[in-house]
Amino acid sequence: MTRNAVSVEGPVDPQLDYADYRATSLRAPSRPLVVLHPFRDLESPVYGHEDVGELDNDLTRQHAGEPLGERITVAGRVVEEDGRPVRNALVEIWQANAGGRYAHDLDRHPAPLDPNFGGAGRTLTGDDGRYEFVTIKPGAYPWKNHPNAWRPAHIHLSLFGRAFSSRLVTQMYFPGDPLFPHDPIFQSVRDPRARERLIAQLDLDLTQPEWALGYRFDIVLRSTPFE
Amino acid sequence: MTVGRTPSQTVGPFFTLGLCRTPQNEVVPGGTLRVVGRVLDGAGLPVEDAVVELWQPGRAGTGWGRCGTDAEGRFEFRTEKPPAEGDAAPSIDVIVFARGLLRHLVTRMYFPDEADSNAVDPVLASLDSAERETLVARLEDGVLRFDLRLQGERQTVFFAV
């Protein structure tokens, strides 16, 4: 049994201690992570269609009327690093409305709430790893990290892959956002190729004419030994 | 041929919209064991926007639950003690997401009434006694308390997996 205190901060995930994102200063562990050995990689809990409602993946149809903003489709595949699709993966999303305001008590940004937009959705991937959401494009919003700090438009995602080790919480961004160079959360991913994988791509094949632009966002989870 | 992983990003302050719509803190249905704790930052202040997940082995597959912290940094679960596995002491895998954490933290909770198996557990054995102490829950009035200190002198041991 060896005890290794190592830095596992590779080029993909952000390092925990990232000073430009101020909230890390009292929350990032000060001691190095310890390699967990032996490691039992528990299989993810099993989700079924009873856990997900019919309209849960359409954030534009969860209220009496339609939300304001630019209607979009966000779709893609969930795969592991070897390309194997992950089926029945639970994908949960949450986001601000078109004005950049979350339907959350603690969001103090003085932009209007939209009574027709709750900003939360979930779905399960199909056998080919595919998922799809219909939503509206979220707005950029200010935050207090530094003077005149603004977050680029983004959608939060939570994913359960096959196992504990493939658990992922991330954020999806929109192509060409001029706020990218100024956002420490986006920039906390230091490898530009890895950072690029946080940006959805406009996809005309996903775009429904006269209805909604389509954005493709494929998600790659850590490989696991599980089927 | 492999493709690059999607990087992690922080869960942010507003995750309750997507992740806490219904209570999901019953790790084992009907479990009678209460596990409570607080998430504390490097100044010892409560982390009021963290979400804690418990994962544990079980006969009917993995037991799982999650709980967002309240204004005092508190979380609470209902579960049962999982079985021991080989020479490993019973334990529950714990994930912490929070605003200010650019990727999630992983730790483990061990049981205070398992002194003999804790003494030979290979993961605990690799730690010094102060570190080990951060991973063993304390029994308080029939409730297991497992506080998570993100930083500082008494920081909880977090693992790379």
Picking from A4, A36, A81, A117 by the largest number of B CB atoms within 10 A of its own CB, the best residue to mutate is: A36
Does the beta-carbon distance from A26 to B21 stay under 8 Å? no
pLDDT digits (tens, 9 = 90+) for A129-168: 999 999 999 999 999 999 999 999 999 999 999 999 999 9
Whether A164 contacts A41, CB under 8 Å: yes
Which of B10, B95, B96 would best serve as a mutation to test chain A binding (most A beta carbons within 10 A)?
A: B10
Q: Which of A26, A29, A44 faces B62 most closely, judged by CB atoms?
A: A44
The verdict on whether A182 is a catalytic residue reads: no
Are A124 and A77 within 8 A, CB to CB?
A: no
Verify whether the Cβ–Cβ distance B100 to A122 is below 8 Å.
Answer: no
Q: Report the pLDDT averaged over residues A177-193.
A: 97
User: Which among A23, A43, A164 has the least Cβ separation from residue B100?
Assistant: A23
| Nearest chain B CA: its distance from A136 CA (Å) | 16
Contact A79 B12 (CB under 8 A): no
Q: How far is CA A214 from the centre of its chain?
A: 17
Confidence band of A225 (pLDDT split at 50, 70, 90): confident
Residue-level pLDDT at B60: 84
Q: Kindly state the average pLDDT of the residues A24-34.
A: 97
pLDDT greater than 60 at residue A60: yes
**What is the β-pairing status of strands B138-140 and B143-145?**
antiparallel
Q: Which residues contact A191 (CB under 8 A, 6 or more apart)?
A: A11, A12
Catalytic residue among A131, A141, A173, A215: A141
- d(CA B73, CA B104) in angstroms, rounded, equals 17
For the question of residue A131 being annotated catalytic, the response is no
User: Are A221 and B8 in contact (CB < 8 Å)?
Assistant: no
Question: Among residues of chain A, what percentage have pLDDT more than 70?
Answer: 96
Residues of B in contact with A223 (CB under 8 A): 2
Task: Give the nearest partner residue to B7 out of A2, A13, A83, using CB atoms.
Answer: A13
pLDDT value at A7 more than 70: no
Contact B158 A39 (CB under 8 A): no
The answer on pLDDT for A173 being more than 50 is yes
The answer, for A1 touching chain B at a CB cutoff of 8 Å, is yes
Q: Residue A29: which pLDDT band, with cuts at 50, 70 and 90?
A: very high
CB contact under 8 A, B14 and A25: no
Question: Nearest CA to CA, how far is A150 from chain B (Å)?
Answer: 14
Which pLDDT band, with edges at 50, 70 and 90, does A10 fall under? Answer: low
Any B CB within 8 A of A55 CB: no
Instruction: Answer whether residue A16 shows pLDDT above 80.
Output: yes
Quote ipTM for the complex: 0.97
CB B91 within 8 A of CB B108: yes
What is the pTM (predicted TM-score) of this model?
0.95
**Subunit contact B104:A169, Cβ cutoff 8 A:** yes
- Residue A95 pLDDT > 90: yes
Distance CA B113, CA B133 (A): 13
Residues A91 and A138: their CA atoms lie apart, in Å, by 18
| Domains of chain A from N-terminus onward | 42-221 (2.60.130.10)
CA-to-CA distance for A166 and B22, rounded, in angstroms? Answer: 23
Question: Other C-beta atoms within 10 Å of B1: how many?
Answer: 5
DSSP labels for A42-55? PBPPP--GGGS-TT
Rounded CA-CA distance A200/A129 in Å is: 17
Q: Is the Cβ–Cβ distance between B69 and B19 less than 8 Å?
A: no
Confidence of residue A212 (pLDDT cuts 50, 70, 90): very high
Q: In order along chain B (161 residues), what is the average pLDDT of each group of 10 residues?
A: 92 97 94 97 98 94 96 98 92 98 98 96 96 97 97 96 90
Nearest beta carbon to residue A1 from set B13, B122, B157: B122
Superfamily of domain B16-149: Aromatic compound dioxygenase (2.60.130.10)
**Percent helix / strand / coil, chain B, rounded to 5:** 10, 35, 55
Query: Known catalytic residue: A195?
Result: no
The pLDDT of residue B6 is 98
**Separation CA A50–CA A165 (nearest Å):** 25
